[in-house]
Amino acid sequence: MIDVADHDGIALLTLDHGPVNALDRELLTGLAETLEAVADARAVVLTGSGRSFSAGVNLKRVIEGGAAYAEAFLPALHRATLALFDHPRPVVGALNGHALAGGCVLAAACDVRLMSGGSIGLTELAAGVPFPAVCLEVVRHAVGPALDAMVLGAGRLTPQQALAIGLVHELVEPEELLAAALLRANELCRAPSDVYALAKRQLHRPTHQRIGAARPLDDGEVLNLWSAERTGRTLREYLASLRRG
């Protein structure tokens, strides 16, 4: 599900899970465990295989698994998002294609984001599912006041639009993406690792304070809504609309 390669001490992690790297419990658990396993790497670059970085949550699994699956999936999503967001070393996202919904959240959890094509956005409300506090606040850290429009509009941004709001830091040609991401990661390694880790903790502290305040208020309702029969019906309709084009 996740290929790991070493590039002069930089860990290149490639999501390789189906045609669009859809997020399920297994992939998210694997991502968190892989990040822990490469803790000694100088930096991390995260990219995707095929035409997508990640097209978001595997909604079919959510529909088929019902409440029991949602109850296991959401903690895995929280853990993977925070493992990426809080990884102490530099983390560069090399967005090789679509980064939607949960895929957009994982992209936002990276320190720096480079993009070579596709679209990016938070499409959860269009699919009919609510945001967990962890995901919402991590994206807020990345885009600030642009978050409202991203969440409530539930649309897709072009790479140029994402660049304009700071969701993406640099646009590169597809054939140059990995080399550019590795170069950026190497540049971030110029700071001593303990100094870099402290800077990240300082920058992320307000996000963690908001998460800590919001989770007791939101997590129960979010789980109930993800588990509801109505949500299953809405997701089926949404998937059908995507197939119709």
- Which residues are bridge partners to 54 per DSSP? 99
Q: Which two tokens stand for residue 9?
A: 């001490």
Q: In terms of DSSP bridges, do strands 98-100 and 120-121 run parallel, antiparallel, or are they unpaired?
A: parallel
Tokens 């995901």 -> residue: 135
Cα–Cα distance measured from residue 59 to residue 56, given in angstroms and rounded to the nearest whole number: 8
Annotate 33-56 with DSSP letters as a single string: HHHHHTTTSSEEEEEESTTEEE--
- Given the residues 26, 36, 64, 124, select the one marked as catalytic: 124
**Helix 59-85 to helix 229-244 angle, to the nearest 10 degrees?**
100
Question: Which residues make Cβ contacts (< 8 Å) with residue 157, sequence separation at least 6?
Answer: 119, 120, 121, 150, 165, 167
E strand intervals along 37-119? 43-48, 52-54, 91-95, 98-100, 112-115
Locus of tokens 């540049």: 187
* 229 labelled catalytic: no
Dist. CA 180–CA 218, nearest whole Å: 39
Return d(Cα 49, Cα 45) in angstroms, integer: 13
Rounded Cα distance between 213 and 53, Å, is 31
Contact 118, 153 (CB under 8 A): no
The residues carrying an active-site annotation are: 124
